[in-house]
Amino acid sequence: MNMKLHALQVLLALTATIRAADAQTITVDIEDASIFDVSTTATVADLPGPDGHISFGEAMVASNNTPGRQTVAFAIPTSAWTYNPQWYPGVAVIFGWVPNMSADDEVTLDGTTQTAFTGDTNPNGWEVQFLTQFFVAADNCGITGLHGLDVWVDGSYCVIENNSAVSVHLYGGFGGSSSAGNLVKGNTGLGFLHIDQSSDNVVVGNTFRQVRVYGYVAGGFPAVNNRIGGPTLAERNFIVGTGTWNSEGFPGGFALQIVDTTNLVVENNQIGTTVDGMSIGHAASIAGILIDGVNNNTTIRNNRVAGVLATVVPPHQPGYQAGTAIRIGGSGSGLQIVGNKIGLNALDQPALGSITGIETLHWWNPIGVQNVRIGGSAPGEGNEIAGHLGSGISVANTFSGVRIVGNSIHDNGGLGIDLVTSLFVHGVTPNDPLDVDTGGNGLQNFPLIQSLTSTATALRIVGTLNSSVSSSFAIEFFASPQADASGFGEGEVYLGSTNLSTNASGLANGGGSVTIYCTAKTNSLGCLPRIGSSGTLSLGDASPFVVTAQQVLNGKNGLLFYGTTGRAAVPFLGGTLCTKQPVKRTMVQNAGGSMPPVADCSGTYSFDLDAWIASGNDPALTLGDVVDAQYWSRDVASSSGVGLTDALEFFVTP
């Protein structure tokens, strides 16, 4: 079925509902908006003028002067389509301008009425095209079914929906709050969207060439609580990208720019590629998502960012290429990049990578964005970063504390994670005693693997980490189909993690991999209890292996039960039993946390496995055993009366 005609049927039904509440309908029947033979104080009752026609200029003046909400419809006969039909075939062209032609009172512009009048004559979109900018200075306005419109919205709660080749500017610059809460939905074609000092806007289901979300923090007007996309496919935006080449042949452009925002969510969009997700979106675009200025609490989640690889053109060497899928600059705090596919085409092939997948920039700002998290340990939080000519992630020399967790990084030409030195050197940085060198993420030393053995149910890894003294570290484990020839390969499949602590000499010994698996049971307060560990698996060293649980109900009793016969995943007390029978249990302990009458998830459990083995309470638990463990706790408000964490698997090592 013709998608435009289908949209027309839906919109006409919607328009019929709207018109029931609208005061009047004004029907434009000529193209030239500057034809004006009524008074500037005319109302709907004064239309048409002596010429018997209604221009768009007359319609807007009359609508602005008439109380209530009007609908401006279009019924321009094809015989009256006189504005250069060779350049603008198949459309009625609104051209010309008169004063007061902006929307100063709530109004609906409904271009679907022209399609209903003359039929589907424009294969590239709707049948009414504007050659002039249109300004909306009122709240609660609606614009639908128009083509080629450049609309500036300085109102709130307006709906810009199902237009073609539309460019939208949501401008709250007059005081920072005069434009807010607008909905931009279902627009097609390759227009532009600029959200400027405007807040609480929702942008879903569109196709744009470029989107910019920017505020003015220095003036006290950030762009706050905007949402680009959403969790469903229907909310996905396609942002292709654009750019130009300068006189020297160097490219410059982007798909999505983020500047001076607060609480921005960018979710489930396709950014940087053609709409089919199979090709480069624009050959001059050098950034898929470009972050700059001062941004706080930004979430970039579950997007596909790919196809950003620009080429230099003559007079310079055309073989030179540039591009970064996500470029992080500026300052602020709280950036989460989770669950994205970066460099992969619509078939999830690593074929549309950039030079770098995610890059932090030092530039002029010596501080950089704080609290940056790339990936995560929860299901679905890891990014897949693949197919780039250089590194998967590059951390600039001035950035510290960039948390990179649980990602799948593979098929890149450079390092999976490149920590840039203080002298801007890229590549593998050798470990140094006590890890005192400086650069991206402090040029964190990497662990060294000493041995690796496997059993039917687990993989045992023995290694060491030399780093800063008396510090705690999370060590992640990955697998890849083949080893990298450099010896510093990437990690395609995330296996799990363990926590280690260094001693006074900066040394931590790891006796094996600790794998967290299975599904925890959400407790009666909506929290998800989580198992974890700290210390080393080697018995008798200075850092005992402790199995922990967090986010459990405060003040409730619980215990650890474990087995040595493998993993399980069977229904159990409203949740999942993650260890095979037979299982054994430790002594009961109280979760502590907040004092009554407060009820929250501040409780924790902690069990020292080294002390348990040394006590002889379980003589059957010996060196070499593979142990699966899970916490059980009281939860009287739940249907079964109990709570369950996820599970942890580890080796008992000497």
Question: pLDDT tens across 343-388, in order?
Answer: 999 999 999 999 999 999 865 566 789 999 999 988 899 999 999 9
pLDDT beyond 60 at 5? no
**Burial (CB count <10 Å: 0-12, 13-18, 19+), residue 448:** exposed
> pLDDT band at residue 140, thresholds of 50, 70 and 90?
very high
Tell which residue, 185, 179, 180, 182, has the closest CA to residue 145. Answer: 185
> pLDDT band at residue 453, thresholds of 50, 70 and 90?
low
Distance CA(130)–CA(5), nearest Å, equals 21
> DSSP state, 597?
T
What is the residue-averaged pLDDT of the chain?
89
pLDDT beyond 50 at 15? no
How large is the average pLDDT for residues 533-556? 81
Structure-token pair, residue 334: 């709280």
> What is the predicted pLDDT for the residue at 17?
40
> What is the predicted pLDDT for the residue at 22?
47
Tell which residue, 325, 290, 300, 291, has the closest CA to residue 310. Answer: 325
> What is the predicted pLDDT for the residue at 1?
38
**Half-sphere exposure of residue 157, counting CA atoms within 13 Å on the CB side?**
5
> What is the predicted pLDDT for the residue at 175?
47
Span 484-539, pLDDT tens digits: 877 888 999 988 888 777 877 777 765 656 778 899 999 999 999 999 888 766 66
pLDDT above 90: percentage of residues in the chain: 69
Size (the chain), residues:
654
Other residues' Cβ atoms within 10 Å of the Cβ of residue 198: 29
Q: Quick one: three-class SS letters along 176-215? A: CCCCECCEEECCECCEEEEEECCECCEEECCEEEEEEEEC
pLDDT beyond 90 at 135? yes
Answer for the pair 308, 285: CB distance below 8 angstroms, yes or no: yes
> pLDDT band at residue 128, thresholds of 50, 70 and 90?
very high
How large is the average pLDDT for residues 84-95? 93
Least confident stretch, 5-14, 17-26, 525-534: 5-14
Strand 223-224 versus strand 603-608 pairing type:
unpaired
Query: Given its phi and psi angles, is residue 13 left (phi above 0), alpha (psi -120 to 50 degrees) or beta?
Result: alpha
> What is the predicted pLDDT for the residue at 444?
95
Span 173-190, pLDDT tens digits: 654 457 899 999 999 999
pLDDT beyond 50 at 419? yes
Query: Given its phi and psi angles, is residue 392 left (phi above 0), alpha (psi -120 to 50 degrees) or beta?
Result: alpha
Strand 642-651 versus strand 515-517 pairing type:
antiparallel
Structure-token pair, residue 616: 């002889």
User: H or E stretch including 538?
Assistant: none
How large is the average pLDDT for residues 45-59? 96
Q: Return the beta strands (E) in 352-471 as ranges.
A: 356-360, 370-375, 384-386, 393-395, 403-405, 408-410, 417-419, 448-454, 459-466
> What is the predicted pLDDT for the residue at 621?
83
Q: Encode 360-380: b = buried (16+ Cβ within 10 Å), e = exposed.
A: bbbeebeebbeebbbbbbeee
Distance CA(145)–CA(161), nearest Å, equals 8
Torsion sign over Cα 88, 90, 96, 101: negative
How large is the average pLDDT for residues 302-322? 87
> What is the predicted pLDDT for the residue at 509?
62
How large is the average pLDDT for residues 152-171? 96
How large is the average pLDDT for residues 127-155? 95
Answer for the pair 395, 429: CB distance below 8 angstroms, yes or no: no
Structure-token pair, residue 181: 């809460």
How large is the average pLDDT for residues 105-109? 97
Distance CA(64)–CA(44), nearest Å, equals 9
> pLDDT band at residue 650, thresholds of 50, 70 and 90?
confident
Strand 626-634 versus strand 557-563 pairing type:
antiparallel
Strand 356-360 versus strand 324-328 pairing type:
parallel
pLDDT beyond 80 at 4? no
Span 576-618, pLDDT tens digits: 999 999 999 999 999 999 998 999 999 999 999 888 888 888 8
Return the bridge partners of 32, or none: 95
> What is the predicted pLDDT for the residue at 500?
79
Least confident stretch, 51-55, 171-175, 430-434, 480-484: 171-175
**Half-sphere exposure of residue 271, counting CA atoms within 13 Å on the CB side?**
32
**Burial (CB count <10 Å: 0-12, 13-18, 19+), residue 275:** middle
Question: Cα 404 from chain centroid?
Answer: 16
Identity (one letter) of the amino acid at 473? F
pLDDT beyond 90 at 411? yes
